[in-house]
Structure 1
């Protein structure tokens, strides 16, 4: 009898835990879906600012590929 009661209690607690995890997961997915356009806009703005600063005021010309420095020379 003790095992049956313990099993029922474990099932009830497990059901509530699973329900809580589902509700929290759906809430987080909804928040991420709503925030997506704002994050895309902000990241594209930072990306454009970063590369605009690189091309306009760059003093050192070079490219880093996998930790190695490779000078870039214009042969034109």
Structure 2
């Protein structure tokens, strides 16, 4: 996936947040510190990689591509299961 990264200061929480633009749309992640280290990583949670295999015909079939989205998708938390 191709992406562009931009760090911005969030006016609501006053913390550094991160967004990337991928082929399917834009994602907002968050910076997560690594325990015991002076560094961290940007995490993007709950990013869809394929459509869910609903129905008996799709259960064992190859994954189907997910459709893109409009706007900025919040990827700072895992979606409900």
TM category (shorter chain) comes to under 0.3
If the length of structure 1 is used for normalisation, what is the TM-score?
0.19
Which structure features the higher share of helix residues?
1
- What TM-score, normalized to structure 2? 0.18
Find the structure with the greater CA-based Rg: 1
Which structure shows the higher strand fraction?
2
Q: Which has the higher contact order (CA 8 A, sep 6+)?
A: 2
